[in-house]
Amino acid sequence: MHDPNRLAAAQASGAETITEAPTQSASPAVPARRKPKISDTPPPAPPAPKLADYEPIIGKSQLDELRFVSQPLQGKRVKMVNSTAVGGGVAEMLNRLVPLLDELGVKTGWEVITGGNDFFDVTKGFHNALHGAAFTLTQQARDVFMSHTEQNRQRMRFDEDFVVIHDPQPAGLIGSKSEGPSKWVWRCHIDLSHPNEDVWKFLQPMVERYDAAVFSSPAFARQLAIPQALFYPCIDPLSEKNKELDDSYVQTVCDNFGVDRSRPIVTQISRFDRLKDPLGVIQAYKMAKKYVDFQLVLAGGGASDDPEGAVVLKEVQGAAAEDPDVIILELPPWSALEINALQRASTIVIQKSLKEGFGLTVTEALWKSKPTIASAVGGIPTQIIDKHTGVLVHSIEGCAYQIRYLLTHPEFGAQLGKNGREHVRENFLMTTNARRWVLLLRILSGLN
């Protein structure tokens, strides 16, 4: 029998190792894993929420303030540019931020750069290298990056009052900046605290041609010759991925995916990316499963700018072998409602990243009041105040321990979930993000 006092003492001391002898699982035999039922047809796009729809969540006074601070920008035009229209947190944020700014009277458009596999192979290497991974910056890689950048420059126009370029992939578009009044902003969503120096030296001269740079955490920033601002990324509480759902729909999704809601569910929602460490999650599952019964769900998809995803998915499938309690879901880009349902059905949500930008899957889980276990990397510690809004871990063993602890201490997990939702409400919602953008654009244009 487990000693609850001993477990509580270990939790209070921050222990990350499992020291008790394993017990035999009491769960009944489970059938072989069946193929999940995944929709292959995108649903009709829902209408974007209006400003007034946010009033029950943030209050009338905050909405009135947002409208007021936007007034000096009425009629100004903004172009947002990134590398993919679907997949990943940047695309999800832009999908909501653009219409919100537009309703505020700041005419905002969104374009996506194009490129072949050679270009996105290089930019994926850049992305990992800027997180600190090894990368050899060859002349060929430079040439591929610059040639595709030039092709995008030739097909795109930049005559707006403001141009906002997201992340390294389109950073070279700064070559189209004229001497006119338009202001250019580089929005960096990744952790630049320990970049590969060769790649950063290649990109830095481009970045310093912008009028300002925006980072997601003070720790991500670099010494630059331009002003810098701090913007937390955000979620839209009214989006398909975050809105409230009927429990009957949640049950239908679980039935389709072969997830048993009568047993604990531990879930990681992420692209199949090495930096999200899905293989480490499976190792943590195997360690914790010796002590507590639960199912592991690894759900995610790919993105057009990440050619490595299919390889990682195969590795994950191999590591799971034939374990029927490891449910691997390769979801299409239109699966926001299904992801929402999986998070709401989960007992615990994990984000065991090795490197991270901000980690909006953590924000999503906290908003849904879920006990959340996540690595202390990137912007995650901004969201998870350890043992208050969630639990931070530093290893596979630590992740396994916390899975076990939270599954055996549901009251503690419920309090974490309650605190986490309030933390998101105060800091990481789309309306707050829109206000920050409005204020930055006012500063850049000299408007008081």
pLDDT (mean) for 74-94? 90
pLDDT given for residue 304 in this prediction: 56
Percent of the chain residues topping a pLDDT of 70: 91
pLDDT given for residue 33 in this prediction: 62
Helix-helix angle 117-130:197-207, to 10 degrees: 100
- What's the distance, Cα to Cα, between the start and end of the chain in Å? 66
Interval 398-415: pLDDT, tens: 999 999 999 999 999 999
Interval 278-302: pLDDT, tens: 999 999 999 999 999 999 999 997 6
Instruction: Specify the range with the lowest mean pLDDT, choosing from 2-6, 27-31, 152-156, 364-368.
Output: 2-6
Burial 59-89 (b: 16+ CB within 10 A, else e): eeeebeebeeebeebeebebbbbbbbebbbb
Interval 9-57: pLDDT, tens: 444 444 444 444 454 444 445 556 667 888 777 788 788 889 999 999 9
Handedness of CA 101, 103, 104, 107 (dihedral sign): positive
Interval 211-233: pLDDT, tens: 999 999 888 888 999 999 999 98
Domains, the chain, ordered by start: 59-234+429-445 (3.40.50.2000), 238-427 (3.40.50.2000)
The helix (H) or strand (E) run that includes residue 391 is: strand 391-393
* Token reading at 189: 């969503």
pLDDT (mean) for 402-430? 97
How far does Cα 367 stand from its chain's mean position?
Answer: 13
